[in-house]
Amino acid sequence: MFWNRYPFARILLPFLSGITVALYFDLSLLIPVYFFVVLALALAVLVIFFQKKISYKMRWLTGFVIALFYLLAGYQLTALKNNENNNSFFGNYLTEENYTLARLTEPVQVREKVCKCVVEIVAVKDSAQWHTASGKAIIYLEKDSLSEKLNYGDEVLMRSKYAEVAPPLNPEEYNYKNYLKYRSVQYSSYVRNANWKLISAHNGNALMSFAYTLRNKFLNILKKNELQGNEYAVVSALLIGYTDNLDPELIKDYQGTGAVHILSVSGLHVGIIFIVLNFLLLFFDKTRYGRIPKALLLLGFIWFYAVLTGMSPSVMRATAMFSFVIIGNAFRQPPNIYNTIAASAFVLLMVDPYMITAVGFQLSYLAVIGIVAVYPFIEKAWTPKNWLLRKTWSLIAVSLAAQLITFPLCLYYFHQFPNYFLLTNIVAVPLSGLIIYLGIAVLALSFWPWLSLLLAKVLSYSLMFLNGSISFIEELPFSVSRAVPVNFTEMVLIYAIVICICVFLLQHKSKALIGSAAFVVLLLISVAIRNYNALVQKEIIVYQVNKHTAIDFFDGKSAFFICDSAFIYDTKKQDFHIMNNRCKHRSRNVFPIVMTKENVSFKNNIFYNHGDFYGFAGRKLAVINKATFNSHKLALDYLLISQNPDITMEELLTQYEPSLIIFDASNSEKNIKNWTTQCADIGIPCYSTRKSGAWVCNLAD
């Protein structure tokens, strides 16, 4: 009887299971349509002819057939999204060099040297003829005045070479290939100015074109009202989801304080838009037949806002949920909140099953479930008499409820925890709400210049205070617990502990407390095993980082980091390529050693460095970035070639006697290809990180 109140939850669970199976095993095999027909007929027979005759103990059979149907439906929809099942996929026609006709699916992103375009391939020409095609690609156009002016819906003819997006080439590196694959993008290409031509403009969806035009108009209004710098970047992100101007350091501050969700349009923003619109349309409630027109207008406005802000998973989730609320109210049927959550997720995943892979989608739904399930109990724990204290406690209760249900997933994905998240939300949530209202007023009153400018001044100071508060909190001691190594198993165990404790506190079931203790023991065992493995590890890793040299020597929980002078300051690249691997290795102490022209020496009981020579756990490694001349031939275990030295392998082997030669990504592809050929002719083993990814040598065994 419990599940009867939540029909969408009952079908969502098997539907999610089918999607998960297809994604986890990367399956593309389609299920024959007749199989679904047989299932549907079996279900109809059970319901129409045998439902009343089946004994109560066998009633599960009907539910099983329904669950199986939705499980297979989830699998089938996911498999259909796989480009391998699409005969018209442009990747099937690619040759060495291709002519393609492509349409921009979003506005161009202007960067320092290139213009990035996400395009939908309309047609492709192989060696013989043109073919109607489908699929998406990322195109990097050489930056000039023409490429900067490209807009959504423009069609361009290009002559280019396409390459598959590379998988992660370093251990634990973020899988950008999968991220793009789940958005139907598998290829990318760099196109020079002479190799592309604009064929036609504004051929995209009329609604999307209007939304992007309106967004640009809004951005220009903000600029005219003298909003600039970080204030302009944040209000653009808050109001209309435009994030191109956000400074990486500012994003890092918001991430470190747990306020990064404010920078993306989400349920808070859609809720505010809904409240404003609902207030403006109150006059419909006074008419006899006003509920349906009001609902249609509200649905139209909030979905247009979703399009305007880029239709991110978080805004789609919020918009879908508010849509069910609006429809329920229109028919005077207040919806069950859990059923509404499940229904919105089901509808969105029907449209795009890959949406489940978006971290924002997962966190959004978990946060809503946490707030709905846990917030009322936390909020009732204390009832202050003071109005301000009551509102503050309510905000704290919401933050605690959301954080409680999302922090295990955050630890798993981001390996960090914002220790002052309560302080951040007390400041940031009310301020962001005020900023959204002020921003709407600035845009709405733009026809009244002096009032719009006055409100923009207040908006600017509010944004300065918000950004300053976030930076201040992030700089507080112990504001962030970084490099928290939580794997998938440990995340599941933490969730099990949280659920058991919540059940015990809310329903006072002693078995839940016993269960939580058992899961704590399992978690401690997992952590202890990983700690022991970290303490005894000895490993050398030469990372694959384009145009740079980067090496980690792992000794227990310490790491000796060798890199070039440019890479040591590039924290963004370090975070992307290296930090997750260090987190997995539980490295607490990292000793950076920058390769310079001067001879720098370092020595302890396991590691030593003298100039370009390194010793670790009995192994010898030299880094060669120039032609060298030794008085006698040096025996080495590993010889790393970096920074394109003007030398042949024959010349090098007159000076060194290595067991293995390694070429890192600071060398050009042309040089690596020549050196690899030379090594093959000589008969010396070699390894290229450009071709095979990071070189890993485990010395613990």
What is the band of 189 on the pLDDT scale with cuts at 50, 70, 90?
Answer: very high
Q: Is the pLDDT of residue 16 over 60?
A: yes
Q: Is the pLDDT of residue 648 over 80?
A: yes
Query: Residue 592: which of 567, 622, 618 has the closest Cα?
Result: 567
Average pLDDT over residues 351-356: 91
634 φ, ψ (degrees, to nearest 5): -100, 130
Question: How confident is residue 338, by pLDDT bands cut at 50, 70 and 90?
Answer: confident
**Per mean pLDDT, which of 40-49, 150-159, 619-628 is the most reliable?**
150-159
Instruction: For the chain, give the mean pLDDT.
Output: 87
In this prediction, residue 363 carries a pLDDT of 85
- Determine the pLDDT at residue 543: 97
Q: What is the predicted pLDDT for the residue at 103?
A: 95
pLDDT at 122: 93
Measured between alpha carbons, how far is 581 from 169 in angstroms, rounded to an integer? Answer: 12
pLDDT band at 53 (very low <50, low <70, confident <90, very high): low
**What pairs with residue 541 in β-bridges?**
552, 696
Q: Distances in Å between the alpha carbon of 542 and those of 175, 490, 568, 645, 677?
A: 19, 29, 15, 18, 21
> Which residues, in sequence order, are CB contacts of 174 under 8 Å at separation 6+?
168, 576, 580
Average pLDDT (514-530) is: 95
In the predicted structure, residue 261 carries a pLDDT above the cut 80: no
What is the average per-residue pLDDT within 274-279? 80
Of the listed ranges 92-101, 150-159, 274-283, 527-536, the one predicted with least confidence: 274-283
Query: Measured between alpha carbons, how far is 540 from 240 in angstroms, rounded to an integer?
Result: 46
pLDDT value at position 319? 84
Rounded to whole angstroms, how far apart are CA atoms 217 and 101? 29
pLDDT at res. 58: 59
Whether the Cβ atoms of residue 402 and residue 371 lie closer than 8 Å to each other = yes
Contact predicate 135/86, CB 8 Å: yes
pTM (2 decimals)?
A: 0.86
Q: Which of 392-396, 455-459, 666-670 bottoms out in mean pLDDT, i.e. has the lowest?
A: 392-396
| Higher-pLDDT residue of 588, 630 | 588
Residues 597-637: tens digit of each pLDDT: 565 677 777 898 888 889 998 899 999 887 666 667 889 99
Residue 157, pLDDT above cutoff 80: yes
**pLDDT 10s digits, 465-497:** 999 999 999 999 988 888 888 999 999 999 999
- The per-residue pLDDT for 54 is 59
Q: CA 284 to CA 636: how far, in whole Å?
A: 83
Tell me what percent of the residues of the chain surpass a pLDDT of 90. Answer: 39
Average pLDDT over residues 402-431: 90
| pLDDT (average), residues 92-109 | 89
The stretch 68-95 carries a mean pLDDT of 87
Banded model confidence at residue 68, pLDDT cuts 50, 70, 90: confident
SS3 701: coil
Identify the residue with better confidence: 334 or 425. Answer: 425
> Which tens digits make up the pLDDT trace of 228-237?
889 999 888 8
Q: How far apart are CA 32 and CA 173, in angstroms?
A: 37
pLDDT of residue 1: 47
Q: Tell me the Ramachandran region of residue 95: left when phi exceeds 0, alpha when psi lies from -120 to 50, beta otherwise.
A: beta
First to last CA, the chain: 57
Q: What's the whole-number mean pLDDT along residues 541-561?
A: 94
Stronger pLDDT, 452 or 49, i.e. the higher one: 452
* Mean pLDDT computed over 413-418: 90
